[in-house]
Structure formats: structure tokens, C-alpha cells
């Protein structure tokens, strides 16, 4: 197939779970022999996008970025005449070309009840009517789309993949220290301050032998500064804007994922499980789905419960090992080859190529 991939953000210009998934889908499509062209926006530097990309300068554009991406996609489609479009930007709909859109979540900020959130829900519903299909990354996201009025036959669930050859357990020498790791974009919705708060609320004798590493790309510089202050005098290391998170998972014993925002999948939790780590976090339906119920989840913002769950695992190596092994086994279902084959069938169906 000749495919046009369209992304408002793309690594490493912007990196989160959403962008990481789309980057891997692009690589899988090319590895499968498809003729693929990428249209991508950038907010920092054009040079950070892959060579050959049709780049769209979104610096300083704010809300007008929503208009820039569809225009760039339509221009590229007229030139390239693709069989289908795969986008992770709901605003992209190319007339005359079957468009499949990937949706991670419907997190519109705030309590989701303001005029802005209502407007976005309406926009999603209107856009969906003109799309060939929508891929939801979890059943939770699919149900959220149906709840705002998207037709059931438009939406298919395909869970994200994880690179099981990179995210692997790495036995480390036994010592008395229990190492916690919190990997996520650095912004308040990901709850890094909750991990620090839980550590800070441990008694000195409980905290002895426990350390925490906070790892991630800084999405909110002010919040990152607040974390630096909060981490003062605690056994904490801050690793911001690292290129590779795998070594940080592999050197840890427990992964923390106290997300305070509605997730579509919970990518960092699944990566941690692939590395053989037990996961402790806040209750979230998509995280529970993605982790198969194996993550230890407590009510959102209940820091004492979060602290206690961490301490239970920190003092029980056998339970850590059991959960880690069960998690590694569970995420075998997220192989990228299988994920791409599911996308390929959706794209072929949208383009009318199935059975040819």
C-alpha cells in the first residue's frame, strides 16, 4: 500500500506515549514493505524530524495548528495519491482518501464538563462521521468514543505494542536497597509529586534502604522546578530528558505510576511490566485494562494508601518477583508485529484492498 502518515507531533521533537506509538507504527509499516510518507508538525526544531518528512512549522501557532495539519495532509495527498491515511490527529480528514485516525484518550483537561470540553466532544463526533475508521488503543477509549455519539461500526480497539526485545528484565546484583522508578512525561497530571509525597511520608526507618528515580521528558518546566524543591533531602534522583528509559527500568525493583489524568493506555506501566517490574499506581480504568489487573492500584490521590502499597512490596521480595514474572508474561500479547498486522487489516479494509 501507499500510505500517508500524519502526526501533529513526532519524536524526538515531542515525545510521549502517543508519539512513541506512532513512530513505531511508521517503522513497522516501512519494514512490511509499504510505501510510506510522513507529514509531521514540529514545535522545537525541523531537524528533529526524520529526513524526507513533510514538516509543518507549528511554533507559536497555538490553536491554529489544528488547521495547519489538515491543509498539509491534503496537499501531500494530492501529490502522492495514497491508498489510505493514518493519522493520530483527529482534525485530519483527507477528502477522497480513506482516513484512519488513532485515538489514545479523550482527556480534554479540567473536569471535562466545561464549554471547551463539550466543544471538543462535538468536534470528535462530527469528524468521526467522515473518517473511514477510528482505532482506539483500549476498550476504555472505545467506550468513551461511543459515549459521545461516535457510531460503533466506526471504532475498533487495537492495543498498543511494546518492544519486547528492548524492554526486558535485567537481573541486578542483590543488595539491601529497594529502588523505585517513576517514568513519565514531567507534568503534574502524571503525578511525580505524589511519588515524592509517598516517599516523604514514610518514617525514617521505613524509608531506609529505599530510593526513587524520576525519569522523563520535561513537558512543564515550572513543575520540574517544583519537583527539584520537593525532592530536597530525600533519596531521590531526577533524570530529565533522557534519551533511553530502558536502563532506568532495568535498575529498579518497583515502578510507580500514580497518574492523575485519565489515561488511554498507560504506556509506561506496560513498559515497566515488560522489564519484569511490579507496578504501583492510582486507579484508572485504562491502566487496569492494559496491565491485566496485575498493577497494584489505589484510589487516586490517596497518598497514605499509595505509600502503604509501596512499602508492602518493598518488604516482600517474593511478591515483587511474582508480580514481575506475571506482568512480563501478560505483556507478551503486545508484540508489535501483531499490533501492526491489526492496523494493516484496518487500513486495507478502509482502502478497499482486502481480498485483492
- The C-alpha atoms of residue 25 and residue 324 are separated, in whole angstroms, by 27
Structure confidence at residue 110 as a pLDDT band (50, 70, 90):
low
Cβ-based neighbours of 280, under 8 Å, separated by 6 or more: 254, 255, 256, 257, 258, 295, 296, 297, 298, 306, 309, 310, 313
pLDDT at 223: 97
Which residue's entry shows cell 508484540? 335
β-pairing, 236-240 vs 155-157, is unpaired
Structure confidence at residue 112 as a pLDDT band (50, 70, 90):
low
What average pLDDT score do residues 280-298 get? 97
- The C-alpha atoms of residue 274 and residue 324 are separated, in whole angstroms, by 8
Instruction: Answer yes or no: is pLDDT of 66 > 80.
Output: no
Which residue's entry shows cell 498539509? 72
Domain 2-161+335-350 in CATH: superfamily?
Glycogen Phosphorylase B; (3.40.50.2000)
Which part of the chain is CATH 3.40.50.2000?
A: 2-161+335-350, 178-333
The CATH classification number of 178-333 equals 3.40.50.2000
Q: Which three cell numbers stand for residue 330?
A: 501478560
Alpha-helix residue ranges (DSSP H) falling in 50-180: 65-80, 115-129, 139-147
Q: Indicate the helix (H) or strand (E) that contains 312.
A: helix 303-314
Using an 8 Å Cβ cutoff, are 170 and 275 in contact? yes
Using an 8 Å Cβ cutoff, are 276 and 283 in contact? no
- Segment 331-334 long-range contacts (CB within 8 Å, at least 24 positions apart): 331/162, 331/164, 331/270, 331/273, 331/274, 332/164, 333/159, 334/159, 334/160, 334/161, 334/162, 334/164, 334/270, 334/274
Structure confidence at residue 126 as a pLDDT band (50, 70, 90):
confident
Instruction: Answer yes or no: is pLDDT of 353 > 60.
Output: no
Structure confidence at residue 123 as a pLDDT band (50, 70, 90):
confident
pLDDT at 18: 85
What's the CA angle centered on 270, arms 269 and 276, to 5 degrees? 95
* Residue 56 β-bridge partners: 41
Average pLDDT of the residues of the chain: 92
Q: Indicate the helix (H) or strand (E) that contains 320.
A: helix 317-330
Task: Give DSSP secondary structure letters for 93-116.
Answer: --TTS-EEEEE-----STTS-SHH
Which residue's entry shows cell 514538516? 55
Q: Which three cell numbers stand for residue 83?
A: 491508498
* Residue 297 β-bridge partners: 281
- Pick the more confident residue, 146 or 122: 146
Which residue's entry shows cell 502503604? 308
Instruction: Answer yes or no: is pLDDT of 173 > 80.
Output: no
pLDDT at 356: 43
Query: pTM (2 decimals)?
Result: 0.90
Burial zone of 226 (CB within 10 Å; 0-12 exposed, 13-18 middle, 19+ buried): middle
pLDDT at 119: 81
Using an 8 Å Cβ cutoff, are 36 and 52 in contact? no
Structure confidence at residue 354 as a pLDDT band (50, 70, 90):
very low
What average pLDDT score do residues 305-326 get? 96
| Choice among 88-97, 232-241, 289-298, 304-313 with the minimum mean pLDDT | 88-97
Strand order in the sheet with 236-240: 236-240, 210-216, 178-183, 254-257, 279-282, 296-298
What average pLDDT score do residues 32-41 get? 95
Q: Which three cell numbers stand for residue 46?
A: 525541523
Crossing angle of helices 317-330 and 267-274, in 10° steps, is 110
Cβ-based neighbours of 293, under 8 Å, separated by 6 or more: none
Amino acid at each position: 500500500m501507499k500510505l500517508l502518515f500524519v502526526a501533529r507531533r513526532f519524536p524526538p521533537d515531542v515525545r510521549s506515549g502517543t508519539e512513541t506509538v506512532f513512530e513505531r507504527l511508521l517503522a513497522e509499516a516501512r519494514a512490511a514493505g509499504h510505501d510510506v510518507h510522513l507529514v509531521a508538525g514540529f514545535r522545537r526544531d525541523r531537524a528533529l524530524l526524520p529526513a524526507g518528512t513533510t514538516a509543518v512549522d507549528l511554533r507559536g501557532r497555538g490553536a491554529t495548528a489544528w488547521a495547519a495539519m489538515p491543509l498539509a495532509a491534503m496537499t501531500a495527498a494530492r501529490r502522492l495519491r495514497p491508498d489510505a491515511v493514518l493519522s493520530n490527529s483527529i482534525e485530519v480528514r483527507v477528502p477522497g482518501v480513506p482516513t484512519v485516525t488513532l485515538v489514545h484518550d479523550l482527556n480534554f483537561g479540567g473536569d471535562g464538563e466545561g464549554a471547551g470540553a463539550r466543544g471538543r466532544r462535538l468536534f470528535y463526533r462530527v469528524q468521526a462521521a467522515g473518517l473511514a475508521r477510528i482505532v482506539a488503543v483500549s476498550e476504555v477509549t472505545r467506550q468513551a468514543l461511543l459515549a459521545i455519539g461516535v457510531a460503533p461500526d466506526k471504532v475498533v480497539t487495537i492495543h498498543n505494542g511494546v518492544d519486547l526485545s528492548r524492554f526486558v528484565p535485567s537481573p541486578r546484583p542483590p543488595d539491601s536497597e529497594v529502588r523505585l522508578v517513576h517514568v513519565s512525561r514531567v507534568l503534574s497530571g502524571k503525578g511525580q509529586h505524589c511519588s515524592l509525597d509517598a516517599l516523604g511520608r514514610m518514617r525514617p526507618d521505613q524509608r531506609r534502604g529505599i530510593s526513587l528515580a524520576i525519569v522523563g521528558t520535561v513537558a512543564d518546566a515550572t513543575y520540574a522546578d517544583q519537583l527539584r524543591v520537593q525532592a530536597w533531602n530525600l533519596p531521590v534522583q531526577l533524570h530529565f530528558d533522557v534519551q533511553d528509559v530502558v536502563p532506568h527500568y532495568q535498575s529498579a525493583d518497583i515502578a510507580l505510576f500514580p497518574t492523575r489524568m485519565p489515561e488511554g493506555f498507560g504506556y509506561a506501566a506496560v513498559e515497566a511490566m515488560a522489564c519484569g517490574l511490579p507496578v504501583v499506581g492510582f486507579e484508572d480504568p485504562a491502566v487496569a485494562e492494559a496491565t491485566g489487573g496485575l498493577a497494584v492500584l489505589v484510589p487516586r490521590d490517596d497518598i497514605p494508601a499509595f505509600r502503604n502499597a509501596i512499602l508492602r512490596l518493598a518488604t516482600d521480595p517474593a511478591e515483587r518477583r511474582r508480580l514481575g514474572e506475571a506482568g512480563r508474561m501478560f505483556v507478551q500479547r503486545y508484540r508489535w508485529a501483531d499490533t501492526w498486522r491489526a492496523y494493516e487489516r484496518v487500513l486495507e479494509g478502509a482502502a478497499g484492498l482486502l481480498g485483492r
